[in-house]
Structure 1
C-alpha cells in the first residue's frame, strides 16, 4: 500500500489494526511505530501524525480493546433471560475476551493506569464497571440479587471473574479444564449475589 491509499483519513484505523494484530501475536514489547508504518506502506512521518509516540499508540490500543470488551459484555447483558443467565453470560464474555486476547488485555490495564492515560481511555475503561453496577441495581430492584452496596458487589464479581481469567490465560488451572473452572467461579459468585430464597 502507499500513502495515496489514505487520503480519506483511514490511515489511523489501518495503523491501529496492524498494531492490534501485532500485540495479539507478540505483545506490546514487540510493537514498533516504524514497523507499523512499513506494514501499512507509509512513511514513519505519516504514522507519527496519528501517534506521536509508542505510549499514544498503546493508549489507542487500550481504548479499542476496552471498546470491544465492553461491546461483548453489553451484548451478553442485553439478552432476554433471567438475571442469573445474563450474569453468567457476562462473565463468560469477559473470560472469552481475556483468553482470546491476553496480550491486548494486558495493554488495556497497563495503559489505563499510566499517568499519561487519556481522558478517553479513563472513561471507556470505567464503562464496563458502570454497566455491571447498573445490572446489579436492576437485579436488586427485581429481587434477584441480595441487598447491599452495588459498587461493592460489582467489585467482588469483577475481581472473581478477572481472577479466573488471569489464571486461565497464565495456564495456572492445573488439571482443571478451563470451562469447568470458569463455570464454577461464576456460579459461586452468583450464589453469593443471589437474593435469599
Structure 2
C-alpha cells in the first residue's frame, strides 16, 4: 500500500524537484531539460516525477514562479531596510546583484527564459507582477519625493537594463577584472541618476548619487 504524504511532505518533495529542475533548465534550456534526467538525479523514474508535476511545462512554470518569489523576497527585504530613499535604492541594487551571483540558475530562469502567456499559471503571472512592481516602486517613491524627475517606469527600466547587463557580463567573464564589479555598477547608476535627478534634489543627490 502506498504511503500517503501530508501536505507539508508533498510541499517538501515539490520543492526538492524544483531545485533539481532549476539547475537542469538553466543549464540545458526549457527545451533541452528532460523530465527523465531530472527524475534520474533525484533517483526516481520519470513516472514518479509525473505524480507531482503532470508535465514539463507545469514544472517549468512552478520552478520559475518559485525563483521569482525568492528574488522578490530579497528585493522587498532590501526595500524595507531604511527610511532614506537613497539608502533604500542602494540596498535594492545590492540585493539584486547578490541574488544574481548567489543563485545564478534562478536568475537565469527569471530573466533568460520566457513562456507563452497561455502556458503561464496564475501563480507565475502573480510572481512576475510582484517582481516588476518591486523593481519600479522605489523609483516611483523617489520621483514622488522630488529626488528624481521623469517617468518612473522609464527610469527604473534604465537602472535595471544597466544592472542586468553588468551582471550578465560579469557572469560571462567579459568585464575587466581590474575594475571591481561594484565600482562599475555604482558608476553606471550614478550616470543615470545625474540624468534623472530633479534640480531641487541636487544637494542631497550629490552626496549619494548611486541608487543601484
Shorter-chain TM-score: which interval? 0.7 to 0.9
Q: Distance in 2 between matches of 1:139 and 1:60?
A: 34
Q: Distance in 1 between matches of 2:35 and 2:63?
A: 13
Partner SS state of residue 79, structure 1: coil
Q: Distance in 2 between matches of 1:137 and 1:103?
A: 29
CA contact (8 A) 2:53 2:59 kept: yes
Q: Which residue number in structure 2 is paired with residue 73 of structure 1?
A: 75
Determine which of 132, 136, 154 is the counterpart of 1:129. Answer: 132
Determine which of 123, 146, 164 is the counterpart of 1:162. Answer: 164
CA pair 41-103 structure 1, distance change in 2 beyond 3 A? closer
Q: Distance in 1 between matches of 2:38 and 2:181?
A: 34
CA contact (8 A) 1:34 1:44 kept: yes
Q: Which residue number in structure 1 is paired with residue 87 of structure 2?
A: 85
Superposed structure 1 runs of 4+ greater than 6 Å apart: none
- How many pairs align? 193
Stretches of structure 2 that go unaligned for 5 or more consecutive residues are 203-212
Q: Distance in 2 between matches of 1:48 and 1:89?
A: 41
Q: Which residue number in structure 2 is paired with residue 9 of structure 1?
A: 10
Task: Give the drift of 1:54.
Answer: 2.4
Determine which of 17, 20, 23 is the counterpart of 1:18. Answer: 20
Partner SS state of residue 50, structure 1: coil
Normalised by the size of structure 1, how large is the TM-score?
0.81
Partner SS state of residue 133, structure 1: helix
CA pair 4-13 structure 1, distance change in 2 beyond 3 A? farther
Q: Distance in 2 between matches of 1:6 and 1:193?
A: 55
What per-residue deviation string (whole Å, max 9, x for no partner) do you get for residues 151-181 of structure 1? Answer: 2222222212212212211212123222221
Q: Which residue number in structure 2 is paired with residue 105 of structure 1?
A: 107
Q: Which residue number in structure 2 is paired with residue 192 of structure 1?
A: 195
What per-residue deviation string (whole Å, max 9, x for no partner) do you get for residues 17-67 of structure 1? Answer: 33235556x454774322333444444223113222323222222111111
Q: Distance in 1 between matches of 2:99 and 2:20?
A: 19
Q: Distance in 2 between matches of 1:33 and 1:89?
A: 38
Task: Give the drift of 1:5.
Answer: 8.3
Q: Which range is displaced more, 185-194 or 82-91? A: 185-194
Stretches of structure 1 that go unaligned for 5 or more consecutive residues are none
How much is the aligned-residue C-alpha RMSD, in angstroms? Answer: 2.7
Normalised by the size of structure 2, how large is the TM-score?
0.76
